[in-house]
Amino acid sequence: MSYSSIIDVPKKASESDLFGIDKYKNGLIKFIRNSDTPLTIAIQGEWGSGKTSLLNSLQEVLCGEYGSAEDIKNHQHDFYGIWINTWQYSLMRSQEETLISIVSGISNKILEIINSRHKSGAEKLGKSILNFGSRIFKSTAAFAAEKVIGEGAASVVENVLEKENSNQTIKSLRDDLQESINACLENDAKLKASKKGFIFFIDDLDRVDPPVAVQILELLKNIFDLHNCIFILAIDYDVVVKGLKPKFGELTEKNEREFRSFFDKIIQMPFSMPVTTYVIDKFLVENLIRIGYINEPQGKQAELAEKFSMICNLSVGTNPRSLKRLMNTISLITIINNEMDDAAAESKESDYLLINFGLICIQIAYPQIYKCLSLEGDFKKWNEAFATKLKLRVLAPHEIEKLNKSEEFDEEWEQIVFRICEKDTYLSNRASQISQLLNLIASCIKDGSNLGEVIEEVMELSAVTDVQAFDKPKQAVNRGPVLKDFAAKILPLLKTKLPAPFPTVRQQSKKVQSNLYIAYSKPSEGWKDWVGFTIMNQKESLSLMMWVHPWLLAVKSKQMRQDLKESACLEKFELIAKKFDDLMVQYPSFTMSYPGITSSGIAKDKWHVPHLTFHFPFTAPSEILEEKNIIEIANFTTEVMKLYAELLPLADEHNAKFGVNTKLTQ
């Protein structure tokens, strides 16, 4: 794993385009290069949609980057660039102080450029800015107490100046700025270093209090509406609407035109971030490899990348910030699960990765649906009884008839999804997407596997990042210490009950983290015969899970019993399977995940193994270590290994008929 997290910072101009938006950026660059001035462009988009990344790219191409006077002096690009982070200017300042500091900040950056290029032309502007700034900052505090809420930004500055009876007005400052900018460009032309003007990049307006953001927009319009100047603002229209509420009230159909007119008066050209057209396949694959969720060969599977992209489009969307949060969530879950189980660190199959990915997306985007899955993982079994449990309303006959005609809601469980979604406006607008997403997850589960058990198993892995409040939270158990104590107590008993033909019983490895492996083979034989133990969180309790694999291979088909029939081993197998069922009657404290030791249905190089997985429920770690429970578990484990020993020669016989060496698979 190269990195465990994806940082949420704007993309640098030099970084590759992972969302396929270069064509939009290039079109905007051509538009700006050939624009008349003054011009104000609004880069619109929700928070995290990539506005700052786009501004970075525009600045790099049109203005370049310069951090010193020498850089400015040697500037070769078409435009001079000035970057203003409005949020930083607003920190620890009042509204009036924010506005004044932005005026001074922009003016001083213009002065810095002119001074570096043509020192003689900066003297008058320098005096003008100094005079303006000194009078403004002296008066801000006194005026703040008298300011009327909702007053325009230009009035704020003008009134502060009037308090000092100053002859310095906004108009005179603007005139001096215009005169200095024109002189700078004229001098550039004389030196055969022609420039098209100044571009001002105004970032993070959506992080400023909306009324202040609107005041800043007014300020820019009144002071910096200058020839040879282009303003590019990163702001969403929704921020403008919120900021104008003190002036126009709540947005309604009747006053919507007033809100729009204000925006149009300041903004000559709106540009909306093309979030819905982002091609996220490349971003997802590159970062899933980066955090170690998929490997390089999987990253080259176009179909897999397409399905990851489909899942995102149906859930968290294509907002870069949302996708980065998703990557970090998946990374954390992957790291924790690898710590819990060494086997989990190995490459997972594509279908498993898609299911886990989809459930994490549901956890983030649709927590209400995720909670329903925690109640019943097999969503295809959601029925009227489940609807009653969730207190959903009953659909009218005409509603059912209408839903039956739609592809997304023509099954009973899908209509339950529809009814869950209609209780929430956000979910209601995305009910069709949620149905499609669940169907996509279901399609990833192999034939023969139990949908509910697969979902519950995968959901347990993602529970650590679930932020919703459950009625009864699952217990947090540090498995390692409990399993170490468990091993110390059960191993002596297992040694006294060692069944034939096993030569010994021992702990496979001294290191116990989340799994305990007990070997029924000599150290020289490695992982020949073993049984595994771990602790699982169930819905309302804990359980000790025990598993063992006899390595019966399904070589030709996806059904183990079908291959057993062809190898003439099915009859013997069924007799042993019946003994396992009888064993469960003898030990009622245990439950078998797959009665009749069914095929797992999880394909890997076209082989399948029967499930031998058992659960022993308990309520607290101390309970599993009680003497009576240790004795019962030891007895049960011994009986399981006796039946496992009966399966071993059958496995050898069956696999040999297909030309497969059983020992190579263990």
pLDDT at 472: 45
pLDDT single digits (tens) 483-538: 889 999 999 999 999 998 999 999 987 777 668 899 999 888 877 889 999 887 76
Most confident option among 449-453, 526-530, 548-552, 627-631: 627-631
593 closest CA partner among 580, 606, 603, 604:
580
Whether a cis peptide bond, with omega within 30° of 0, leads into 501 is yes
Are 106 and 135 in contact by the 8 Å Cβ rule? The answer is: no
Question: How far apart are the C-alpha atoms of 545 and 72, rounded to whole Å?
Answer: 68
Task: Provide the residue ranges of all domains of the chain, joining segments of one domain with +.
Answer: 22-276, 280-465, 479-665
What pLDDT is stored for residue 430 in this prediction?
92
User: Of 95-99, 187-191, 330-334, 572-576, which has the strongest mean pLDDT?
Assistant: 572-576
Rounded to 10 degrees, what is the CA torsion of 385, 389, 395, 401?
-40
Average pLDDT over residues 460-468: 57
Predicted confidence at residue 611, as pLDDT, reads 67
Name, in order, each residue with C-beta under 8 angstroms of 340's C-beta and a sequence gap of 6 or more: 479, 513, 514, 515
- For residue 139, name the pLDDT band (cuts at 50, 70, 90): very low
Lowest average pLDDT, out of 407-411, 490-494, 605-609, 624-628, goes to 605-609
Q: Does an H or E element contain 372, and which?
A: helix 367-375
Q: Which residue has the tokens 């538009």?
A: 31
Q: Are strands 530-537 and 542-547 parallel, antiparallel or unpaired?
A: antiparallel
Instruction: State pLDDT tens for residues 371-395.
Output: 898 888 889 989 999 999 889 999 9
d(CA 576, CA 612): 12
Handedness of CA 380, 382, 383, 385 (dihedral sign): positive
Among residues 86, 103, 3, 79, which one has the least CA distance to residue 52? 86
Q: Residue 107: helix, strand or coil by DSSP?
A: helix
Rg (CA), the chain: 34
- Residue 199 CA to chain centroid, in angstroms? 34
Q: Is the pLDDT higher at 389 or at 156?
A: 389
- 534 forms beta bridges with 515, 545
Residue 343 has pLDDT above 50, yes or no: no
Report yes or no: 331 and 367 within 8 Å, Cβ to Cβ.
no
SS3 269: strand
Judged by average pLDDT, the poorest of 25-29, 177-181, 456-460, 473-477 is 473-477
What's the Cα-to-Cα distance from 213 to each of 87, 275, 379, 638, rounded to whole Å?
A: 9, 23, 46, 72
Predicted confidence band of residue 127 (pLDDT cuts 50, 70, 90)? low
What are all long-range contacts of 655-661, with beta carbons under 8 Å and residues at least 24 apart?
655/551, 655/552, 655/553, 655/555, 657/566, 657/567, 657/568, 657/569, 658/553, 658/555, 658/556, 658/563, 658/567, 660/553, 660/555, 660/607
* Angle between helical axes of 153-163 and 95-117 (0-180°, round to 10): 90
Residues 6+ apart with CB under 8 A from 245: 210, 211, 251
SS3 279: coil
Residue whose pair of structure tokens reads 């183990």 in the numeric block:
560
Distance, CA of 387 to chain centre: 30
| Mean pLDDT value across residues 10-15 | 56
* Confidence label for 173 from pLDDT (cuts 50, 70 and 90): confident
Q: Residue 149 above 50 pLDDT?
A: no
Q: Yes or no: say if 514 and 656 are a contact pair by the CB < 8 Å rule.
A: no
Evaluate if pTM is beyond 0.85: no
Highest mean pLDDT range out of 244-253, 538-547, 631-640? 631-640
First to last CA, the chain: 27
C-beta pairs of 417-422 under 8 Å, 24+ apart in sequence: 417/369, 417/379, 417/382, 419/387, 419/392, 419/393, 419/395, 420/368, 420/369, 420/372, 420/390, 420/392, 422/393
Q: What is the pLDDT of residues 419-435, one digit of tens each?
A: 999 988 899 999 999 99
Average pLDDT over residues 450-471: 64
The sign one gets for the Cα dihedral 241, 242, 248, 251 is: positive
Distance CA 235, CA 241 (A): 11
Asked if residue 269 has pLDDT above 90, the reply is no
Rounded to an integer, the average pLDDT of 340-364 is 74
Query: Mean pLDDT of all residues in the chain?
Result: 78
Q: Are strands 197-203 and 79-85 parallel, antiparallel or unpaired?
A: parallel
Nearest-angstrom CA–CA distance, 630 and 494: 10
Structure tokens at 270: 């709106």
